[in-house]
């Protein structure tokens, strides 16, 4: 089969011919319908940040994937050939303390498909049946690979009740764009997006943000406070960028007694005004990784099926696998003139 593979350490990847994956007894073989690029695929491709420490080459990457079940391990119950599935990328063990306490998304033995084992930028991929989500609605096929990141945003946004609350989305990349739409669908009274890229600012408006502001504006905090009077700050802040300055601003923008979702991932340790912004503010900070398995999946299916959110405007580019270099170029461009990028075989 054809696959996009990190054939060796260092920047870049190859589009190669390789074997169709062998499946274990508890696994499914999936004929990939499409896959999409996550922000965390960029360090893998570029061989920067955490990637050299974790990725073992050769590795077919890509962890946002969907497709048709074409082969079924003998212990993989609940699926039939022809089923269309999206994949939960966190392969949880099911046996650790976290897994047995309904926190499979922070399984201490987690392996991530496309990072720790072969992934979805390929014609075929193997995945455990326990990580497969069977679609019952054909209309979601076209956004099948989007379920993984969309679920991430659903969990980040709805981890605490958002209805009738003011919500700040710091960073309007694909996850921030999803989060803005999810917050609106959940009945947020007001969504403010913070974003520097004009392209993404426009998308944020389209996805439902009531205000989209530039975080570099000098009086940005004053504006946020004026807009949110009388709470004098945001009820809920979703920090989706991972940019240290953005995190600093986002903490300041939260109201006293508010809530803050820590989702974006800074590349190194950051300075935090812990005393003033967390302790004295009585802030609740929720670190969010992955999605609740499968609580979040049910929620997101509801949101998508009921058309409360249409994620399609966030998909700005579709490339063939073989043009993956172009895709990573767009993804890494300075002006960020893209949302989510999809790859098809």
Residues numbered 171 to 190 that lie near a copy of itself (CB under 8 A) are 185-187, 189-190
Angle between helices 220-228 and 244-253 (to 10 degrees): 30
Q: Which of residues 181-240 bind a copy of itself (CB under 8 A)?
A: 185-187, 189-190, 230-232
Determine if 322 is a binding residue for a copy of itself (CB under 8 A): no
By CB under 8 A, name the one of 237, 262, 314, 341 that touches a copy of itself. Answer: 262
* Comparison of 82 and 230: residue with beta carbon closer to a copy of itself: 230
Q: Does 335 bind a copy of itself (CB under 8 A)?
A: no
Which residue among 12, 56, 137, 161 contacts a copy of itself (CB under 8 A)?
Answer: 161
Q: Which of residues 76-105 bind a copy of itself (CB under 8 A)?
A: 77-78, 95-98, 100-103, 105
Stretch in the footprint of a copy of itself (CB under 8 A) among 72-80, 144-152, 197-205, 334-342 = 72-80
Pick from 65, 69, 131, 162: which binds a copy of itself (CB under 8 A)?
162
User: Among 81, 216, 222, 280, which residue interacts with a copy of itself (rule: CB under 8 A)?
Assistant: 280
Instruction: Rule CB under 8 A: say whether 306 interacts with a copy of itself.
Output: yes
Strands 284-287 and 315-320, by their bridges, are unpaired
- The helix/strand/coil state of 78 is coil
CB-based contact 63:119 (threshold 8 Å): yes
Kindly report each contact of residues 207-210 with a partner whose C-beta sits within 8 Å and lies 24 or more positions away, as own/partner.
207/177, 207/178, 207/180, 207/181, 207/313, 207/314, 208/180, 208/181, 208/183, 208/184, 209/169, 209/172, 209/180, 209/184
Candidates 36-44, 58-66, 155-163, 213-221 — which segment interacts with a copy of itself by CB under 8 A? 155-163
Gap between the Cα atoms of 252 and 264, Å rounded = 16
Which residue(s) pair with 124 in the sheet? 31
Tokens of 156: 């980040």
Q: Which is nearer to a copy of itself, 124 or 260 (CB)?
A: 260
Nearest one of 54, 26, 190 to 110, comparing CA atoms: 54
């Amino acid at each position: 089969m054809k696959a996009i593979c990190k054939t060796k350490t260092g920047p870049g990847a190859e589009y190669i011919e390789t074997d169709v994956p062998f499946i274990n007894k508890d696994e499914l073989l999936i004929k990939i319908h499409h896959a999409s690029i996550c922000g965390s695929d960029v360090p893998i491709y570029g061989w920067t940040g955490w990637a050299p420490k974790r990725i073992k080459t050769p590795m077919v990457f890509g962890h946002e994937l969907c497709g048709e079940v074409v082969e079924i391990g003998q212990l993989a119950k609940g699926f039939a050939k022809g089923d269309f599935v999206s994949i939960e990328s966190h392969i949880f063990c099911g046996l650790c303390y976290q897994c047995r306490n309904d926190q499979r998304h922070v399984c201490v033995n987690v392996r991530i498909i496309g990072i720790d084992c072969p992934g979805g930028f390929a014609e075929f991929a193997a995945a455990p049946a326990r990580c497969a989500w069977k679609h019952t609605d054909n209309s979601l096929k076209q956004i099948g690979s989007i379920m993984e990141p969309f679920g991430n945003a659903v969990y980040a946004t709805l981890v605490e009740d958002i209805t009738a609350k003011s919500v700040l989305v710091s960073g309007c990349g694909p996850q921030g764009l999803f989060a803005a739409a999810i917050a609106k669908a959940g009945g947020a009274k007001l969504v403010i997006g913070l974003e520097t890229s004009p392209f993404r600012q426009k998308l944020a408006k389209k996805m439902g943000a009531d205000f989209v502001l530039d975080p570099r504006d000098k009086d940005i905090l004053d504006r946020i406070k004026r807009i949110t009077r009388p709470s004098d700050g945001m009820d809920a802040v979703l920090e989706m960028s991972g940019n240290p300055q953005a995190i600093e601003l986002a903490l300041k923008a939260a109201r006293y007694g508010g809530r803050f979702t820590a989702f974006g991932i800074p590349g190194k340790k950051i300075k935090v005004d812990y005393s003033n912004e967390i302790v004295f503010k009585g802030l609740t900070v929720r670190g969010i990784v992955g999605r609740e398995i499968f609580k979040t999946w049910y929620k997101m299916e509801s949101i998508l099926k009921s058309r409360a959110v249409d994620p399609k405007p966030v998909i700005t580019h579709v490339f063939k696998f073989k043009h993956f270099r172009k895709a990573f170029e767009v993804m890494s461009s300075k002006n960020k003139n893209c949302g989510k990028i999809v790859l098809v075989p």
